[in-house]
Structure 1
Amino acid sequence: MYGWIWRHLPGNTWVKAFISLLLILGTVYVLFQYVFPWAEPLLPFSDVTVDESMGSVR
């Protein structure tokens, strides 16, 4: 898949590398701004159970 993307980007190696960097940064931005906040309520991170019978650790 990455090879296909690389072959279809315009320009020489430096231009392709710059466009690839922009694509990566854009993907990370979309994930952090839209996808992760949408998915957070669906994930069980707040369902933490601590057993009080274990006592204190010394």
Structure 2
Amino acid sequence: MYGWIWRHLPGPLVVRLFTAIALIITIVAVLLFVVFPWLEPQLPFNDVSV
């Protein structure tokens, strides 16, 4: 899968590298600020019944 993404990025090596880094940062930011806060109340880790 990573090879497929790398082959479809445009430009020379430097542009591909910056584009790949930007994609990684974007994915991490979306996970941290959108997905994980939405998912956290639905997880049963705070339901302690001992």
Normalised TM-score (structure 1): 0.77
User: Per-residue deviation at 1:47?
Assistant: 2.1
Q: How many residues align?
A: 50
Runs of 4+ aligned residues of structure 1 deviating over 6 Å after TM superposition are none
Normalised TM-score (structure 2): 0.88
Taking the aligned partners of 2:2 and 2:48, their CA distance within structure 1 comes to: 38
What amino acid maps onto 1:23 in structure 2? L
Higher relative contact order (CA 8 A, sep 6+): 2
Taking the aligned partners of 1:13 and 1:26, their CA distance within structure 2 comes to: 20
Which structure features the higher share of helix residues?
2
Taking the aligned partners of 2:3 and 2:16, their CA distance within structure 1 comes to: 12
User: Per-residue deviation at 1:27?
Assistant: 0.4
Q: Which residue number corresponds to residue 54 of structure 1?
A: none
RMSD: 1.2
> Matched residues, percent identical?
60
Taking the aligned partners of 1:30 and 1:13, their CA distance within structure 2 comes to: 26
Larger Rg: 1
